[in-house]
């Protein structure tokens, strides 16, 4: 049993190595693009983004638009966006903390869908988005 646990731990560690480091550029919201072999590739989704939460909202808009890969990164933090949760962490395989709670996310999704309808079903420009913190 101990040998099996050690093998599983080693495999998980190697899988985490493929993730690479999250990009650290100031104010850049990155979208992750998994690759079959090698580290994840990142493309800039938006520049001049003010916070991790704002980046998560941009990635959520990409998810609502129908994009399949909507994980990303912001200033050294990984962002994980799926239908069930929006989380972030300093390591791909480590602890992930919630970025928005379900009621906050429901409000964001409602507003994003409205903005996207006004923009012909496309993601609004990041300048059109602002997260109001209460």
pLDDT confidence of residue 17: 42
**DSSP-derived 3-state class of residue 93:** coil
> How far is Cα 8 from Cα 89, in angstroms, rounded to an integer?
22
Instruction: Tokens 């998994």: give the residue.
Output: 34
Element holding 87 (H helix, E strand): strand 86-89
Residue 109 — pLDDT band, cuts 50, 70, 90?
A: very high
- pLDDT tens, 81-103? 999 999 999 998 889 999 999 99
- C-alpha 48 chain-centroid distance: 16
Kindly report the pTM of this predicted structure.
Answer: 0.79
* pLDDT (average), residues 9-25: 58
**DSSP-derived 3-state class of residue 33:** strand
pLDDT at residue 12 above 80?
A: no
pLDDT at residue 133 above 60?
A: no
pLDDT at residue 9 above 60?
A: no
pLDDT confidence of residue 122: 82
């Amino acid at each position: 049993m101990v040998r099996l646990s050690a093998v599983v731990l080693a495999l998980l560690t190697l899988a985490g190595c493929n993730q690479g480091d999250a990009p650290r550029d100031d104010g850049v919201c990155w979208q992750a693009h998994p690759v079959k072999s090698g580290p994840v590739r990142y493309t800039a989704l938006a520049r001049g983004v003010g916070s991790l939460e704002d980046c998560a909202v941009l990635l959520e808009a990409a998810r609502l638009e129908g994009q399949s890969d909507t994980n990303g990164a912001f200033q050294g933090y990984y962002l994980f966006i799926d239908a069930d949760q929006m989380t972030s962490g300093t390591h791909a395989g480590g602890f992930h903390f919630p970025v928005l709670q379900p009621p906050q996310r429901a409000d964001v999704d409602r507003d994003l869908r409205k903005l996207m309808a006004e923009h012909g079903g496309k993601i609004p420009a990041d300048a059109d988005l602002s997260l109001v913190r209460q």
